[in-house]
Structure 1
Amino acid sequence: MSCSVPAVASRFARCASAWVKASQSRSNGSEADMKDVQDAKIGIVGAGAMGQGIAQIAAMAGLEVRLMDVNPAASGRAVAAIGSILDKLAAKGKLSSEQAQEALHRIHPEDSIGALSDCDLVVEAIVEKLDVKRSLFAQLEEVVRDDAVLASNTSSLSITAIAATCRLPERVAGYHFFNPVPLMKVVEVVRGLRSSDTTIDWLVSLARQLGHTAVRCRDMPGFIVNHAGRALNTEGLCIVQEGVTDEPTVDVIVREQMGFRMGPFELLDLTGLDVSHPVMESIYRQFYDEPRFRPSPITAIRLAGGMLGRKSGSGFYEYADTSTMSKSICAQGTAQWSTAPVWVSHRHPDEARRVLELLRALDVEVETSSEPSDNALIVVTPLGHDATTCAISEELDATRVVAVDTLLGFGNGSRRVIMPTPATTEEMLTRAQALFGIDGAPVSTLRDSGGFVAQRMIACIVNTACEIAQKRIGTPEDIDAAVRLGLGYPRGPLALGDHIGASRILAVLKGLLDVYGDPRYRPGVWLSRRAELNLSLGFSD
């Protein structure tokens, strides 16, 4: 059967008109919006971990919830599990026993789509298959009111694609929560190409009612959080694949130098490679093989071998023996310092100043001559470049050159990271390890590489976030909030870039591009322009 263009246009106009008319009550002012949200009835399809979590926070926010699953037993188990959680919260004094019982009584297990007919919002949290989600939304449109909002908790599928076969695509949006929902206080409100302002605004208001921070984003692969999170894992894998160091050393540097809660390999083991690797491949392919998101064969091989992480008992770490967590191939500095000549390169004056301030605080005398003496340890401070490049470009004796990472400074006894050239003698390397560990600070030694570990990871994290801002997938404020709350980073990526300095981040990326020639390190225009203009990375144009 065929249909003329005018007929299709007329049908679309009627549907749009019906949606606008039916939802006028949602757009008559903030007071009306808030009342509407407070009285909302929430339907949830899928009683797994995500559906259960959404049901819990909605009920605790005072909303009536209908939790539906094709398996009636699953809905019952989910309600029982929520009841147990609420009892534990009451026992800890987080809420009263009466509040716990009232919240539980607001959740009604259902076994049919028809039971959701009076809901103001239905959130699907089912299998990540486009055809299955489309089929569900078609069924929902047969039973819910025309002013009801339909939302998907998908983390990887296009909201536009899900809504494409809907009668009223204007009322369809993404509502992406994170697991565990009650603890991860952020939700991505994803605008499909046909999602209306009314739909998005209403979902944002509802998120506040649920006690979550709503971040608005366009319908693009990975939305904000999974898009921004590519840099940490893929760059960690790239570093190990290159042979710079091993997984435990990367993780300990990320925790103890960068200040993150977990390193990339700990995080991959926690999530499981059966989840993480397909997401890495999916986002890479959806962006048409963008080099910044290139996956690694390391995870592909481990996935094929069933070494998934914690869930399989074996991943990058063996969970029957946690002692492997502290092992590393690249040495930790343990040598004792004895007075010896030290010379610091001034090729990068600001970076040299950081080293000199540290050495003065440690009462270490430094040669002040323009060139090192014949027996001096030569310390260089590259941004993005490797120790070898420094030795050659500055015409230094490569057998005595050791590079130190200055990007994050040396405060509060944080871990220090150094690397020799391939020609550096064992004596000079031992001297450097002792020098930078003189006050008991931990020292990690890498093989020569562009950008150490922290420089590479931070530059990629910041650059990726800048690209998200440049593409208007989210505002700078929402990008920082989403990453901080959704990924647990100590700062949002744009705020992190401002803290370190956009010009220094740009220098790292240019150095990495010089060393590797890999377009994954090309600086984006958002970063480059703001660095050159001395503007905050959070500055919107």
Structure 2
Amino acid sequence: MTSAPRTVAVIGGGRMGAGIAQSFASAGSAVTVVESGEEAAAAALDRIVASLTRAEARGHLAEPAAEVAGRLAFVHAVDALDPATELVVEAVPEDPALKARLLKAAEAAVGGSTVLATNTSSLSVTDLAAVLHRPARFLGMHFFNPVPASALVEIVVAPGTSPDVVEAALGWTRALGKQDVVVKDSPGFASSRLGLALGLEAIRMVEEGVAAPEAIDDAMRLGYKHPMGPLRLTDLVGLDVRLAIAEHLHSTLGERFAPPRLLRDKVARGELGQKTGQGFYTW
């Protein structure tokens, strides 16, 4: 039987980091969240507690929300991590330099047996591994939003990743009650690459006046049994996030991933989706 790691650190307490922390705490792990200051840490804790409270009300927790929240701790710097931490998951925005800096700091703070993971949705795991002294202990663990409710974790294996690290990550994923998909490191992996291709084409259809966003989404929900359409999903993920991924894949895979003008214009206007109240839908 698989079991969750005893100790986990999550770097970043935003939507993704908070969800990852909640998932591991719900599975029994002691979780330390790294946030930059008291205000950010308090916001991350509020985010997790609110989500746990909703999960408890729906009967989705095996124990009271307060007990799960009691497994959370917060520190304000990566170098404050316990060297005995079993798993560190970096979950900061998709900025390669920021991720590399924090992963290097985490590797310096923890022991040689700690597994480091990045939650990147599209950046090169191989490039990030290149800044580390122990690249064999590093891989991608791509969680999906909202993390507590999503069944999938994409395990991204770089050329230097040790097989025992992959096996450990698979066991931890299953201990969370999630399912894994293993892919080798490549631009956009499997999920982001395919999901973005569909999302960009849907945006082009809106741009060209082919159909309204609701009609395009209904076509994919009703005809292809997608749980939600590509435009509503874009709003949920964030148009700025989708644009950043598109720009990365455009630079690595070519013109088929060129961001539509409509996507660029919406991001420039601050229409980022659910988090700002306006995207392809009004929230």
**TM-score category by the smaller chain?**
0.7 to 0.9
1:49 counterpart = 2:15: yes
Kindly report which structure 2 residues correspond to 1:427-446, keeping only aligned pairs within 5 A, or say none. Answer: none
The whole-number CA distance in structure 2 between the counterparts of 1:166 and 1:68 is 19
Residue among 97, 100, 106 paired with 1:140: 106
User: Which deviations, in whole Å up to 9, do the C-alpha atoms of 1:179-198 show, x marking residues without a partner?
Assistant: 11101121111111211111
Q: Does 1:302 align with 2:266?
A: yes
Larger Cα-atom Rg: 1
- How far apart, CA to CA, are the structure 2 residues paired with 1:93 and 1:315? 32
Deviation readout 1:355-377 (Å, 9 max, x if unpaired):
xxxxxxxxxxxxxxxxxxxxxxx
> Are the counterparts in 2 of residues 174 and 189 from structure 1 also a CA contact under 8 Å?
yes
Change (3 A) 1:237 1:74: closer
Residues 5 and 87, structure 2, Cα contact 8 Å, conserved in 1: no
Which residue does 1:109 correspond to in 2?
74
Aligned counterpart for 1:208 among listed residues 165, 168, 174: 174
Letter in 2 for 1:223: F
Secondary structure at 1:187's aligned position in 2? strand
2: CA distance, partners of 1:201 / 1:122 = 16
The equivalences for 1:510-529 within 5 A come to none
Given the alignment of the two structures, is residue 194 of structure 1 paired with residue 160 of structure 2, yes or no? yes
State the shift of 1:120 in Å.
Answer: 0.8
2:150 is matched with: 184
Q: Does 1:254 align with 2:217?
A: no
Matching residue within 74, 91, 96 for 1:125: 91
Distance 1:316 1:48 in 2: 23
**The one of 63, 74, 80 aligned to 2:40:** 74
Q: Helix, strand or coil: the match of 1:179?
A: coil
Q: Report what 1:493 is aligned to.
A: none
1:316-373 deviations in Å (ceiling 9; x for gaps)? 44x38xxxxxxxxxxxxxxxxxxxxxxxxxxxxxxxxxxxxxxxxxxxxxxxxxxxxx
Q: Structure 2: which 5+ residue stretches go unaligned?
A: none
* Contact in 2 for aligned 1:155/1:176 (Cα 8 Å): yes
1:89 corresponds to 2:60 = no
Cα 1:70–1:217 shift into 2, 3 Å = same
Alignment counterpart, residue 235 of structure 2, candidates 265, 269, 281: 269
- Work out whether residues 11 and 92 of structure 2, in 8 Å CA contact, stay in contact via their aligned partners in 1: yes
Letter in 2 for 1:100: A
> Aligned-pair distance for 1:201?
0.9
Which residue number corresponds to residue 100 of structure 1? Answer: 65
- Aligned to 1:116, the other structure's residue is in SS state coil
Please, what is the CA RMSD of the aligned residues? 2.5
CA contact (8 A) 1:66 1:116 kept: no
Counterpart amino acid of residue 44 in structure 2: A
Contact 1:41 1:63 in 2 (8 A): yes
Question: Do the aligned residues in 2 keep the contact of 1:46 with 1:126 (CA within 8 Å)?
Answer: yes
Q: Is the 8 A contact 1:116 1:122 kept in 2?
A: no
Give the % identical residues.
35
CA shift for structure 1 position 313: 4.3
Q: 1:424-460 deviations in whole A, cap 9, x for unaligned?
A: xxxxxxxxxxxxxxxxxxxxxxxxxxxxxxxxxxxxx
1:241 Cα deviation (Å)?
4.6
Deviation at 1:314, TM superposition (A): 4.1
Q: How does 1:129-168 map to 2 (within 5 A)?
A: 129-168=95-134
Name the CA shift for 1:316/1:101 in 2 (closer, same or farther; >3 Å): closer
Shift of 1:243: 5.1
- 1:236: which partner in 2? 202
Specify the alignment match of 2:31 in structure 1: 65
Matches within 5 A, 1:497-512: none
Write the deviation string for residues 393-443 of structure 1: whole angstroms up to 9, x where unpaired: xxxxxxxxxxxxxxxxxxxxxxxxxxxxxxxxxxxxxxxxxxxxxxxxxxx
Shift of 1:119: 0.1
- Hey, what's the Cα distance between the residues in 2 that align with 1:316 and 1:85? 25
- Secondary structure (helix, strand or coil) at the match of 1:203 reads helix
Question: Could you tell me whether the CA contact under 8 Å between 2:89 and 2:116 is conserved in 1?
Answer: yes
Deviation, structure 1 residue 230: 2.5
Higher RCO (CA 8 Å, separation ≥ 6 residues): 2
Offset from partner CA, 1:13-47 (integer Å, 9 cap, x none)? xxxxxxxxxxxxxxxxxx7xx4xx54531111111
Task: Give the total of aligned pairs.
Answer: 282
- Aligned partner of residue 103 in structure 1, secondary structure: helix
Encode CA deviations 1:452-507: one digit per residue, 9 max, x unaligned.
xxxxxxxxxxxxxxxxxxxxxxxxxxxxxxxxxxxxxxxxxxxxxxxxxxxxxxxx
Deviation at 1:311, TM superposition (A): 4.2
Deviation at 1:265, TM superposition (A): 3.1
Change (3 A) 1:212 1:261: closer
Equivalent in 189, 192, 196 of residue 226 of structure 1: 192
Which residue identity lines up with residue 106 of structure 1 in the other structure? R
Contact map agreement 1:86 1:100 (CA 8 A) in 2: yes
